A and B are shown apart, each in its own frame.
Chain A
């Protein structure tokens, strides 16, 4: 992906040199034309076209903001309810993600989502130990994490 972006920037500079104009607007138009060229030549690259990854990152950010707002609503509800009826607990979550940066992003996002806080990651990086504010929601939380975050992160890394 990084290689394709670098190539696209190089094509934009080539466009600027060919036009003999050196403004930001020419760089942008050259970048757009280079993107079209790279999209048409996408079968020659070992990875997929990088636009898909950019779109996946954008989607990840949208999911993240939505979950952050929901998290705050749930904390607000717990804190301001007259009686504390929570059942906290720690549950184990087996993740399919492999590389370090994927697990880092997943645990960061889990920490900022409704009622969950990552306590530890096992040494072989396959199990996340998550403290839940309400353990009865844990099954639902596991399902949500799997469906929304893990899938979104896997889409970014293109698997």
Chain B
């Protein structure tokens, strides 16, 4: 039983660490802010959560402690990581960071220009 528990813990923590590494490689390789946010928000979220689950199982199986703090940490990461990615992407777009030249479609640009134009009109 101890061996199976250790195997599960090792698998989870190793997988989480590999996902974090892949997310770091993605931040280096991908071309612009938005695609980098894809790598940074998704892969690292699941990576950190898998490491936390591994630590939770380690405490539970091998020390007999059920640590609710780790579960709370998982919930908080799930709640906050996508919001952070959304806000960074939005702030980048609104401060004028260009999309990569590979991009083929931009529905948001027209909308943003429309809003800015409307605001300028209202100031007049």
Give A contacts to B, CB under 8 Å: 68-69, 71-72, 75-76, 78-80, 84, 86-92, 107-109, 111-112, 115, 117-120, 122-123, 127, 129, 131, 133, 135, 138
Contact = CB atoms under 8 A, between A and B. Distances in A.
Contacts of A76: 19, 22, 43
A79 B26 contact: yes
Q: Which of B79, B83, B107, B111 has the most CB of A within 10 A?
A: B107
Q: Looking at chain B, what size class is its interface with the partner chain?
A: 35 or more
B103 A71 contact: no
20 contacts: A68-B42, A72-B46, A75-B39, A84-B29, A86-B102, A88-B103, A90-B108, A91-B105, A107-B82, A111-B82, A112-B41, A112-B78, A112-B81, A112-B82, A117-B41, A117-B89, A120-B111, A123-B115, A129-B108, A131-B34
Contact of A117 (B25, B31, B85, B105): B85
Interface string B32-60: 10110111011101100000000000000
A75 to B, nearest CB: 5
Interface in B58-80: 78-79
The 10 closest A-B pairs by CB, nearest first: A89-B105, A111-B82, A79-B26, A92-B107, A129-B108, A90-B108, A108-B82, A131-B34, A72-B46, A88-B103
A135 B45 CA distance: 23
Contacts, number: 120
B104 interface: yes
B107 A75 contact: no
A72 B100 CA distance: 22
Contacts of B37: 117, 131
Interface of B is mostly: helix
Interface string B105-121: 11111011001000000
B74 to A, nearest CB: 12
B103 A89 contact: yes
Given A72-B42, A80-B25, A107-B86, 20 more contacts: A71-B42, A71-B46, A72-B43, A76-B19, A78-B30, A84-B102, A87-B103, A88-B35, A89-B103, A90-B106, A91-B107, A92-B111, A108-B79, A117-B37, A117-B41, A118-B86, A119-B86, A119-B108, A120-B108, A133-B38
Contact of A79 (B39, B79, B83, B99): B39
Given A76-B22, A79-B25, A91-B105, A68 B46 contact: yes
Nearest to A72: B46
Contact of B105 (A90, A107, A123): A90
A90 B39 CA distance: 17
Contact of B31 (A84, A122, A138): A84
